[in-house]
Amino acid sequence: MKKISTKELVTAAVFTAVNIVLAQISIPMPSNVPITLQTLAIALCGYALGAKLGFISVVSYVLLGAVGAPVFSHFRGGIGMLLGYTGGFIIGFVPMALLCGLAAHRKMFVALPCGLIGLAACHLLGVIQFSIVSSRPFMDSLLLISLPYLIKDVASVLAAYYLALALRRAVPLLSKRKSTS
């Protein structure tokens, strides 16, 4: 296994910071699941950094929030967030970033379906947890907190793919990353 360089860790940390910032661009909703730009940030972590560093970046974000750092939307943090209404989405960010990262250096017809499968996993975990926490039936939860967000989230995955392409052209360290490294 190849060691991760200090430059790579710093790059992952920068993307963790980008995720924190984009989480704060948030519109509260009556369902307790805000509209944020986190799906853009998560997909960007995977597509720009590849599987290993994208995973490290997103897990760092989740762990920072879990220990109480105010990194989640509306500057919230703590283990209660992971156990609350949006916790399934937050946990779902990990497989989403991983799937985007595995396809990071692939052609669009492979990379985008991988990102969309990651998005589906994220939404599925989010709906399941929301359904349990809110004591609502699964289908009601799906209609309330997943379907209304899908157009924005699919557009976010698409935008993240193209942003990652531009970043890899502009930042030499990113262009050297392989999707499985």
Angle between helices 6-24 and 38-66 (to 10 degrees): 100
Per-residue confidence (pLDDT) for residue 105, from 0 to 100: 86
Q: Determine the pLDDT at residue 176.
A: 64
Q: Which residue has the tokens 């990990």?
A: 94
Query: Which residues, given as ranges, of the chain have pLDDT below 70?
Result: 1, 176-181
**Structural domains of the chain, ranges and CATH numbers in brackets:** 6-174 (1.10.1760.20)
| Tokens matching residue 104 | 């990071």
Give this prediction's pTM: 0.93
pLDDT digits (tens, 9 = 90+) for 118-171: 999 999 999 999 999 999 999 999 999 999 999 999 999 999 999 999 999 998
